[in-house]
Amino acid sequence: MNKAAEMQAVVEMTRSIPCAPAILPKLLKLTEGSAADIGELETLITMDTGLATSVLRTANSAYFGNASRCDNIADAVLRLGSKTLYRIAANTLTGRWLVHPLRGYGWEPGDLCRHSLCVAICAEVFAGMTNLADTSTAYTAGLIHDLGKFALAYANLSALDDVASRVPNEYATWREAETAILGYDSSQVTKALLENWGFPSAFISVGFYYQSPSLAPDVDKPLVTLIHAAKHAASQLGYGVGADGYYYEPDEKCLTEAGFTEDQMEAALPEILSSMQRFVAPDGVVHFN
């Protein structure tokens, strides 16, 4: 099997995982702005039983403090609002992937889930500080930025052990080792997954260029740089960082041009940590809903 065919086989193998987050681009488009179509949102949400259940459960939770019970998705959408609704959907749909048992990259169980969530939260906070992207877009990009690594680990490729054993003695970065040993790297797998699911080009650029934002197309560079900054912050915080995370260098020039400063990023840490503590239990288990 040639390398391109092998990479496609990795992508195809992930189809066996329940509910890839393919409806997120449609949902993001529907929830943008202030005039979301309730009927269209209801139709999209009810396509997935687990998502519909999460939406109803959250709408009826004590957090929203309503005496009357929501018994249908339309009422739940009105009660939650589009931003909260989208957050529930992003966490529910992507979380099914990220909590799946797998091996590779030196991860402990749940590490990729915790790390991706931390990148998403960092991205959302940074988006609010910099206006480089809409907060919902930033949050989603953070969740899905590294799904190629998940796909490779889920495929249980024995070559990943060879990658791990030869970094850093033979290769400067994990991605270089992937390319030399596999014939492709995890960013190419992420790109293929997101293209298959119909994600907008900006998200595809994030998956492919987040480690080197200076190479991203100009139109997508703000979001790519934002995720680059979020990845750096999440790695510094240590949530779910695999062995590959220790071979990650920030693009200082790109970050400076986008307006990021060390003081600014440090000032955001309390808000980021507070959000992480809402989702991650003391035992490390992530509760998305």
Q: What is the CATH number of the domain that holds 250?
A: 1.10.3210.10
How far apart are the C-alpha atoms of 157 and 14, rounded to whole Å? 13
Does residue 176 sit in the same domain as residue 232? Answer: yes
Does residue 281 sit in the same domain as residue 170? Answer: yes
Does residue 63 sit in the same domain as residue 123? Answer: no
Does residue 287 sit in the same domain as residue 179? Answer: yes
pLDDT above 90 (res 230): yes
With a CB cutoff of 8 Å and minimum separation 6, the contacts of 80 are 55, 58, 59, 64, 88
Q: Which residue has the higher pLDDT, 46 or 272?
A: 272
Query: Could you give the number of structural domains in the chain?
Result: 2
Does residue 69 sit in the same domain as residue 120? Answer: no
Does residue 95 sit in the same domain as residue 7? Answer: no
Does residue 233 sit in the same domain as residue 254? Answer: yes
Domain final position from 42, 75, 99: 99
Region 203-225 average pLDDT: 94
Q: Which residue has the higher pLDDT, 228 or 239?
A: 228
pLDDT above 90 (res 219): yes
Q: Which residue has the higher pLDDT, 32 or 251?
A: 251
Q: Summarize pLDDT for 144-175 with one digit per residue, the tens.
A: 898 888 888 777 677 878 887 887 788 777 88
Domain final position from 32, 66, 99: 99
User: 43 falls in which pLDDT band (50, 70, 90)?
Assistant: confident
216 Ramachandran zone, left/alpha/beta (phi>0; psi -120 to 50): beta
Does residue 12 sit in the same domain as residue 64? Answer: no
Does residue 283 sit in the same domain as residue 183? Answer: yes
Q: Which residue has the higher pLDDT, 26 or 224?
A: 224
Q: Summarize pLDDT for 76-121 with one digit per residue, the tens.
A: 888 888 778 888 888 877 776 666 655 566 666 567 778 888 898 9
User: 75 falls in which pLDDT band (50, 70, 90)?
Assistant: confident
- Residue 235: what pLDDT? 84
Provide the domain limits for residue 144: 1-17+102-289
> Is the distance from CB of 111 to CB of 286 less than 8 angstroms?
no
- Residue 193: what pLDDT? 87
Neighbours of 29 (CB within 10 A): 12
Does residue 91 sit in the same domain as residue 141? Answer: no
Domain final position from 74, 99, 124: 99
Does residue 66 sit in the same domain as residue 130? Answer: no
With a CB cutoff of 8 Å and minimum separation 6, the contacts of 266 are none
Does residue 277 sit in the same domain as residue 246? Answer: yes
How far apart are the C-alpha atoms of 127 and 230, rounded to whole Å? 10
How far apart are the C-alpha atoms of 227 and 126, rounded to whole Å? 9
pLDDT above 80 (res 267): yes
